[in-house]
Amino acid sequence: MSCYIQLSDPTLPGIIGLLNYRPETAKPLCALAEALLRTDEGLSALEREWIASYVSYLNGCHFCHTSHGAASCAHAHRSVDMIDEIEKGPASDQISNKLKALLVIAGQVQKGGKCVTEAAIHAARAAGATDLEIHDTVLIAAAFCMYNRYVDGLHTWAPAEREAYAEEGRQMAFEGYMRHF
């Protein structure tokens, strides 16, 4: 599997190679990820990464699903085997009812913005989600649809094994997305 464009460093996987290729677009893309995923206002950083990984899983974007899943695992101080729980989505018994309800919304956004239902919003509120948490869930889901299409639309390569993402996940979780700028 090779990228559809000639990258500056073809050994860099997924979005990392693309960010290296276009630093002028990399900086705002990383700043958006930083703003969406590295705050504990409302949703925790673990929950934010979980949403990003779940939407990426629904989109079939292996690189984003596994790297952000690994970041969730790092926040939880768990092995990358926890990614199995992320793939279960709202059916996971490892997450709060609030996060389950927010994952329903994220899954609706993944299908299309107009697929979000009033019933899903009411269910999230009933489970304790605030307007800020609902807002951020929709924005994270929408942004990750874009990131996933960027990564897969240019046919980037990604390691198959989850263990290969553990260190990148740790760096994203604890050092952030702007660490190269």
Q: What domains, with CATH codes, occur in the chain?
A: 14-175 (1.20.1290.10)
Separation in Å, CA 111 to CA 56, 66, 68: 12, 20, 20
Task: Answer whether 31's CB lies under 8 Å from 127's CB.
Answer: no
Give dist(CA 69, CA 110) in Å, integer.
17
In this prediction, residue 1 carries a pLDDT of 55
Separation in Å, CA 146 to CA 45, 139, 140: 20, 11, 10
Q: From first to last of its 181 residues, what are the pLDDT tens digits of the chain? A: 589 999 999 999 999 999 999 999 999 999 999 999 999 899 999 999 999 999 999 999 999 999 999 999 999 999 999 999 999 999 999 999 999 999 999 999 999 999 999 999 999 999 999 999 999 999 999 999 999 999 999 999 999 999 999 999 999 999 999 987 7
In this prediction, residue 179 carries a pLDDT of 87
Put residue 44 in one of left, alpha, beta given phi > 0 → left and psi -120 to 50 → alpha: beta
In this prediction, residue 34 carries a pLDDT of 97
In this prediction, residue 82 carries a pLDDT of 97
User: In sequence order, what are the residues at sequence separation of 6 or more whose Cβ sits closer than 8 angstroms to the Cβ of residue 12?
Assistant: 20
DSSP string, 116-158: --HHHHHHHHHTT--HHHHHHHHHHHHHHHHHHHHHHHTT---
Task: Answer whether 172's CB lies under 8 Å from 71's CB.
Answer: yes
Closest CA relative to residue 58, chosen from 171, 152, 169, 163: 152
Which residue carries 């009033």 as its tokens?
118
Give dist(CA 135, CA 24) in Å, integer.
28
Give dist(CA 10, CA 92) in Å, integer.
36
